[in-house]
Chain A
Amino acid sequence: MGVGNTGKGVSELADEVRERLSSPSGQELFALLIVLGIVVLALDLVRRLATGEMAFGRLWRYTWNGLVDSLYIALAAIGLSMTYSILRFANFSHGDLVTTGAFSGWAVAWLIGGWGVYGVGELVLFSPTAAGPTGGELGMSVLASPVAILVGLVAAALLTIGVALAIDRLVYRRMRDASGISLLIASVGVALALRYIIGVFWTVESHSATASAPILEEIPAWLPFERLNLHELTLVATAVGLIVGLHLLLQYTKLGKAMRAMADNKDLALITGIPTERVIFATWSIGAGLAGVAGYLIVLDRGQFSINIGWFLLLLIFAAVILGGIGSIYGALVGSLVIGLTINVSLVWIPADLNEIAAFTLMILILIVKPDGLLGGVETA
C-alpha cells in the first residue's frame, strides 16, 4: 500500500519524512558516545567493586531499590503508554491520576480502619486537626489491618478509574478530533484542576498515612536480604501480580488482542480510523486503574505523601515510556526498569539530589538519538 498515495497518510508521511530527514551519521555518532559512556561507567563499577572502594552490598541495595522503584514506575508507565498510543497524545495529567489513587485509596483504608471510632471527616482527610488519629494509631500496616489495606487498594483502582472516565467524558471526548498538541495542553489543564481540587480538601501539606512498616528479621539464608520490609514486599508482589495479569489479559483475551493491535500497529489504527469508544474505555480503565494502584502502593512504601506525588513522578514516567518506545507496553516495562535502576545505581557516582537529573538527561538523550525508544522497530508484543 502506497503511503504516499493514500490521502489519509499525510501526517504519517510527514512524520516519516521528518524522521528520514535526520542525519543518521550524526545520530549514530551520538549513540556511540552514549554507549561508550555506559561502558566506561560499567568498567568503573567493576573497578570500584574489585578495589573494594564500594562494597558489593551497597550495589545490591541500590539495585534492589531500583527494582522496587521501577515497579511502581511501570504501573504508571503502562497506562501512560497506552493512552499515548491509542488516544494519540502525551497525557500530562497521568501523574495526577497517581495522586488521585493515593488520596482516594488511603482515604478508604482509613475509613475502614477507624470506622465508628473517629469521625468520617477526620478519617477521610487524614486527621486535619491534632485531635485525629495517626496512621500508626489506626494500625495502617499490612499485618495489623490487612483488610483495610486491601480494600483501600481496590478502592484506589476503582475510584481512579471513575475519575479518569469522568474526565474523559468531560474533556477528552469533546476533543477526539483535536491535534495531539491541543490535547496535551488540555491535559495540562486537567492536571492542574485535578491536583488542586484534591488540594482544596487535603491541603498542600504532606500527610503520613501508614503505620511504620513491619519488618521481617528472620530471612531464609538463601535470600539476598538481611531483613524484609513487608510493605515493600507487598508493593513488589502486587505490582508483579498486576503486570503478569495484564500480560495474560493482553495475550489471551479478545479485548487484549484488539488493544495490542491498536497500540503496536499504527497503520492498523489508522485504517480502523478513530478507535472505538469501547477500546478507549478499556484503555482508561486499565491505565487509570494501574496508575491509581501505583499511587496507593508508593504511599504504602514511603508513608509520606502530598498532592505533588504524581506530578513529581510524571517526568520519570514519561522517561520510562519514551525509553521503551511509545505504545509498547512491554517497552514501558523495560523503560521503567532502566529508569528505576538509573535513579538508584547512579548514586554510586553522584549525590542523591542529582539522581533525577541523570534520569531526565537519559530521557532527553534517548529522545534525540532514538525517538522510537530503545526497542524501537523491534516487535515487542
Chain B
Amino acid sequence: MSDLERGPDAGAGRSEGDADDRADRAVEDAVLEVEALEKRFGGIVAVDGASFAVERGSITGLIGPNGAGKSTTFNCIAGVHRPNGGRVVFDGEEITGEEPHQVANRGLVRTFQIARELPEMTVLENMMLAPKGQRGESLWRSVLPYFREEVLDQERELRERAWETLEFFEIDHLAEEYAKNLSGGQRKLLELARALQTDPEMLMLDEPMAGVNPTLEKKLLEHVHQLREQGYSFLIVEHDMDVIMNNCERVIVMHQGAVLDEGAPAEIKSNEQVIEAYLGGEV
C-alpha cells in the first residue's frame, strides 16, 4: 500500500533542505544530480522534491518502501515522465524533460522494474538492437546497395559484441531463444546485458534482483561489481536491505516521494527514521 496515505509526519520541505546538505557533503564528483524533483499524477504526489546525487564510478543504492516514488524518479530522470518541477543534471548537463532516447544516447541507460524484454524477438535480436551509432538504422542505408555493405560489416562486429556480452552474462546458450521464453531472472539479466550494449556511462537498474533466484542474484551482483571496476556508475533500486548494505558505497533513502536520508550504508542503518519507514512500509 502507498505510504502517502499512512504518515502525516514526513514534510517535503524539510527533507529537501537536508538532502542538499548531504549532497554537498558526500558527493565529490557527481555523475548524476537530481534537484527538487517533483512529479504529480492527478492528486497523487509521487515524487515530492527529491534531491540527491550519484558519485561517478560508484554503486549507489536507492531504497524506500513500496510507493516511495523510486520508479517514478527513474522515469523522470530517464525522460519517460516529464517532471512537474526540479532539475536533472547528467555529466554536468541539464537533461530535464528530454526524451528517453536522448537521455539514453547521452549514456544514461535504465532498466525497468518489470523487465521490458522484446518478447517476440530472440535474445540475440534484443542484443543487436541496443548498440548506438548503427548506420543501418537509417532506411536508405539499410536498403541501398553500396551503403548496405557497410551496414553488414557493422552488423558482423555487433554480432561479435553481442555474443561476448552474452557470454559474460552466461546466457549465451539462450541466444537464439525468444525473449518471451526466458525466466523472470533471465529476463532481468538480458535487460542488463542489453543495456550494456549501448556503451552507457551510467546504469539505472530498477529492482534488478526482483524475481531472480539467489544463485543468479549473486552472479548479477558480481557482474555489477566487475562493471563498476571498469568505470561504470550504478544507481540501483532494491528492496532487500541486506543486498544494498553489502554492495553499495552509498545509499539514498526515499520515503513518500522525498529523500529521507543519504549516506554510507552503516550511517543509514542507524537512522531511526529509516528504520521506522521500513517497519511501517512492511506492515
Seen from chain A, the residues whose Cβ lies within 8 Å of a Cβ on chain B are 1-2, 4-5, 7, 10, 13, 17, 20-21, 24
Contact = CB atoms under 8 A, between A and B. Distances in A.
Nearest to A22: B82
A5 B113 contact: yes
B226 interface: no
B134 to A, nearest CB: 23
Given A1-B2, A4-B114, A17-B75, 6 more contacts: A2-B67, A4-B72, A5-B67, A5-B71, A5-B113, A20-B82
B80 interface: yes
Interface of B: 1-2, 66-67, 71-72, 75, 80-82, 99-100, 113-114
Contacts of B72: 4
Rank and list the top 3 A-B pairs by shortest CB-CB distance, nearest first. Answer: A2-B67, A4-B71, A20-B81
A24 B82 CA distance: 9
A7 B82 contact: no
A109 B216 CA distance: 72
A213 B241 CA distance: 79
B80 A10 contact: no
Given A17-B80, A20-B82, A21-B80, A4 B113 contact: yes
28 contacts: A1-B1, A1-B2, A1-B67, A2-B2, A2-B66, A2-B67, A2-B71, A4-B71, A4-B72, A4-B113, A4-B114, A5-B66, A5-B67, A5-B71, A5-B113, A7-B114, A10-B114, A13-B114, A17-B75, A17-B80, A17-B81, A20-B80, A20-B81, A20-B82, A21-B80, A21-B99, A21-B100, A24-B82
A35 B241 CA distance: 53
Nearest to B113: A4
Contacts of B100: 21
Contacts of A4: 71-72, 113-114
A5 B67 CA distance: 8
A230 to B, nearest CB: 49
Looking at A2, A5, A13, A20, the one whose CB has the most chain B CB atoms below 10 A away is A2
A17 B99 CA distance: 12
Nearest to A4: B71
Nearest to B67: A2
Contacts of A2: 2, 66-67, 71
A13 B80 CA distance: 11
Contacts of B1: 1
Nearest to A5: B66
Nearest to A24: B82
Contacts of B80: 17, 20-21
A94 B114 CA distance: 37
Contacts of A10: 114
A21 B80 CA distance: 6
A24 B72 CA distance: 18
Nearest to B80: A17
A40 B90 CA distance: 46
A10 B66 CA distance: 17
A10 B184 CA distance: 15
Nearest to A10: B114
A10 B81 CA distance: 16
B282 to A, nearest CB: 14
A5 B2 CA distance: 10
A17 to B, nearest CB: 6
Contacts of B75: 17
A80 B67 CA distance: 36
Nearest to A21: B80
A7 B2 CA distance: 16
Contacts of A20: 80-82
B115 to A, nearest CB: 10
A285 to B, nearest CB: 34
A374 B2 CA distance: 31
B73 to A, nearest CB: 11
A347 B214 CA distance: 70
B277 to A, nearest CB: 15
Looking at A4, A7, A13, the one whose CB has the most chain B CB atoms below 10 A away is A4
Contacts of B66: 2, 5
B204 to A, nearest CB: 14
Contacts of B81: 17, 20
A24 B81 CA distance: 11
B238 to A, nearest CB: 14
A271 B210 CA distance: 23
A21 B100 CA distance: 9
A208 B100 CA distance: 59
Contacts of B2: 1-2
A125 to B, nearest CB: 49
B39 to A, nearest CB: 10
A2 B207 CA distance: 14
A372 B34 CA distance: 32
Contacts of B113: 4-5
Contacts of A5: 66-67, 71, 113
Contacts of B114: 4, 7, 10, 13
A207 B66 CA distance: 64
A155 B203 CA distance: 65
